[in-house]
Chains A and B, each alone.
Chain A
């Protein structure tokens, strides 16, 4: 046994409420995460050190390794044990209550602040472009000579993607501001889910950001939006996107988004910056969805 137990301090607070002991198996193993399916059908996500916490997530310490597919996972006596054939890992001890990833749905509408001009200038170009509905920023590392593009009337994928994302985001806002916007909202949500680049498509990130902000601000259609997310048919988006949106429907979000939403109606710069830095473009897209719900996000 090591001289001091290895502690797990970063985990979704809901893990404490699971009926322990709980047993599961690693069904998917990725470079930075492993998805565990528990015997009762629930799930658990083991995350590599340094990765942002996600719903039902447990961030492992740096000295731990992510288990491979088929490994058994056991939660018992305040500990997490990973049983991998041919490899021994010391148990990890849960410490503290975990992190709250839930964003309550406010009953009365709150008036949000504005993003300071200096913070606005720091936002990712993609976030600002999505909010303004302006032309997409060209990929600055793109070396392709497209001088003959003008010969084609065909818009490129990127142009279409940004146009649709921007347009549909405005429709979401319009629906969320009206309590009776649900029928139209279901159509709009379906148009956005699964749309765009990324393992969680950009549209899914926009929806998660919008839902979190709508709940935190008590917008009239916040619950309806979450209802539409819950009713998305399986296979409409990627498995990762689908899992995120199911949790979003229940009010649970990746840690940087949950923190930003829970700080509303204030708009502190630090949570916005943290959210903007999440993933490759996920944070920028979530932030666009989030800020769009503020109607007039900056002065």
Chain B
């Protein structure tokens, strides 16, 4: 079997990048093994033990990067070598070449004096300081950083309100301003619906569904998840709503958030009622309340998107309407009248996990949302159905978010191969700029592996449902991602809510529980 050993002299990268190189090269077609290590004596010995004997190996030293690849044929080796070059060229490198990049807010503002927004992504303990300086310099702030103290958030938002500026965040995952995405944003058509929200993946789901429905968004303004709490009192939600009310390109306004504190909800309703434009609201994790005063309260993210699209006018591509939910359920029930065993739902999007839990509980199903991480290979806790947000802090401590790196989630999926008590797996895929470049390929492989393991053990097969949040314009191409999942035997639904409803129907059987 052909092999290649390349030695890159004096090349230093951090461990995370070396692991990424190994993973990307291993994933290439025809590659059997790809190893990226520093050329220490012990590693060279180990590589020889693993069957790599190229003479170049003898020339490597502990300051050199060694890339060893074994593949099915020479073409696969060549492909891996080209990919390696591409990855190394794109690698984050240090000064002196990096000297042209601004190293501080002051330098950045000097370099781009016309910029009216500052994106802050430094660690949370420092973020307040940088954001405050940006506000004092008269700029809006997109605050991606998390772990920003609440008192810092309050100080920033009060100052922003005084000065007529926006603070989107902290922990703001997404925003789209005049067609430009910030953070994790989907590439959606520009259109007449303006969104404000304290829910990153909730906003992504609604904006992507609006795109699928033939409509589009004017702006998407994130506020950070604590904005509607009693302490902050919706300061930036109100500011965002006012901006959209005054925006000529916005005809319908949408609000997506976790359910606010009661007093904030009441005050917000009065604000929404006097915006002068139709408003659609989705408060996550709560059933819909009665609509009033031109404010439509909805029971799901999908319903919010459909209601907003309907308020704008007839949709030009009513993708969801041509696929009624009943058809989805009927089709799957015909395959399997009732799923035996537990459901395990492994989400990357926290808002989508909350919606799924609500749907399942609404059907009388007992659902647990674990407050500690599941270990791949460790027994599953309890007996209830499990809804897991793999973006929770205890999964992401020192690790990338599952929207970027699916290592943890794929490990949990594979481990279900040894869990015969689990009959149904529910997944979400959130696409867009900043997200993993090809998540369906990895998740699909993990699903195949779990299924193969069950088959080998003679265990009942695993039924898998998934939703894809994104559009065909996203770098990952939502249609391609759905195709990859379908090829892996995953049943794709048009929205996360729909997938949860279908899952609950499968668990309760025909006629419901």
Check if A and B associate: yes
User: Contact residues of A with B, CB < 8 Å?
Assistant: 28-32, 34, 49-50, 61-70, 87, 118, 121-123, 125, 128, 137-144, 146, 148-149, 152, 154-157, 160-161, 164, 191-201, 203, 235-242, 273-274, 276-283
- Cβ of B46 under 8 Å from chain A: yes
Known A-B contacts A235-B61, A281-B15; the reply to A149 vs B103 at CB < 8 A is no
In contact, B442 and A143 (Cβ under 8 angstroms):
yes
In contact, B126 and A61 (Cβ under 8 angstroms):
yes
Measured between beta carbons, the chain B residues less than 8 angstroms from A67 are: 95
Instruction: For A195, give the chain B residue with the smallest CB separation.
Output: B42
Pick from B31, B40, B96, B445: contact of A238, CB under 8 Å: B40
CA distance A49 to B127 in the complex (A): 10
- Cβ of B51 under 8 Å from chain A: yes
**Per-residue 0/1 for B263-300: is the Cβ within 8 Å of any A Cβ (1 yes, 0 no)?**
00000000000000000000000000000000000000
Known A-B contacts A64-B104, A141-B442, A194-B40; the reply to A154 vs B27 at CB < 8 A is no
CA distance A87 to B101 in the complex (A): 12
Measured between beta carbons, the chain A residues less than 8 angstroms from B397 are: 273-274, 276-277
CA distance A138 to B31 in the complex (A): 16
In contact, A201 and B42 (Cβ under 8 angstroms):
yes
In contact, A191 and B26 (Cβ under 8 angstroms):
no
Known A-B contacts A197-B19, A277-B397; the reply to A69 vs B377 at CB < 8 A is no
Known A-B contacts A66-B95, A122-B373, A280-B14; the reply to A138 vs B47 at CB < 8 A is no
CA distance A69 to B123 in the complex (A): 25
In contact, A143 and B394 (Cβ under 8 angstroms):
no
Pick from B46, B51, B105: contact of A164, CB under 8 Å: B46
Measured between beta carbons, the chain A residues less than 8 angstroms from B320 are: none
Closest 4 CB pairs of A and B: A65-B103, A277-B398, A68-B95, A62-B126
In contact, A140 and B414 (Cβ under 8 angstroms):
yes
Measured between beta carbons, the chain A residues less than 8 angstroms from B413 are: 140
**Per-residue 0/1 for B9-49: is the Cβ within 8 Å of any A Cβ (1 yes, 0 no)?**
00011111011001100110001110111101111001101
Q: 18 other contacts beyond A141-B410, A157-B47, with CB at 8 A cut-off?
A: A34-B95, A50-B126, A62-B122, A63-B106, A68-B98, A70-B96, A87-B99, A122-B372, A146-B32, A160-B49, A195-B42, A197-B18, A199-B12, A201-B37, A201-B40, A279-B398, A280-B16, A280-B19
CA distance A29 to B13 in the complex (A): 11
Instruction: For A61, give the chain B residue with the smallest CB separation.
Output: B126
In contact, B41 and A125 (Cβ under 8 angstroms):
no
In contact, B123 and A49 (Cβ under 8 angstroms):
yes
CB distance from A62 to the nearest CB of B (A): 3
Interface of chain B residues 71 through 127 with chain A (CB within 8 A): 92-96, 98-99, 103-107, 122-123, 125-127
Please indicate which of the listed interface residues A152, A160, A197 has the most CB atoms of chain B within 10 Å of its own CB.
A197
Known A-B contacts A62-B130, A194-B41; the reply to A235 vs B376 at CB < 8 A is no
- Majority SS of interface residues in chain A? loop
- Cβ of B2 under 8 Å from chain A: no
- Cβ of B399 under 8 Å from chain A: yes
CA distance A196 to B180 in the complex (A): 43
In contact, A161 and B46 (Cβ under 8 angstroms):
yes
Instruction: For B441, give the chain A residue with the smallest CB separation.
Output: A143
Instruction: For B442, give the chain A residue with the smallest CB separation.
Output: A141
- Cβ of B446 under 8 Å from chain A: yes
CB distance from B270 to the nearest CB of A (A): 39
**Per-residue 0/1 for B344-368: is the Cβ within 8 Å of any A Cβ (1 yes, 0 no)?**
0000000000000000000000000
Pick from B15, B33, B47, B96: contact of A199, CB under 8 Å: B15
Pick from B33, B40, B51, B129: contact of A195, CB under 8 Å: B40
Instruction: For B446, give the chain A residue with the smallest CB separation.
Output: A140
CA distance A32 to B284 in the complex (A): 38
In contact, B411 and A125 (Cβ under 8 angstroms):
yes
In contact, B14 and A141 (Cβ under 8 angstroms):
no
Instruction: For A278, give the chain B residue with the smallest CB separation.
Output: B398
- Cβ of B375 under 8 Å from chain A: yes
Measured between beta carbons, the chain A residues less than 8 angstroms from B96 are: 29, 68-70
Known A-B contacts A122-B375, A140-B407; the reply to A30 vs B94 at CB < 8 A is yes
**Per-residue 0/1 for B393-413: is the Cβ within 8 Å of any A Cβ (1 yes, 0 no)?**
010011100000111111101
CB distance from A226 to the nearest CB of B (A): 20
In contact, A201 and B43 (Cβ under 8 angstroms):
yes
In contact, B50 and A141 (Cβ under 8 angstroms):
no
Measured between beta carbons, the chain B residues less than 8 angstroms from A241 are: 40, 62
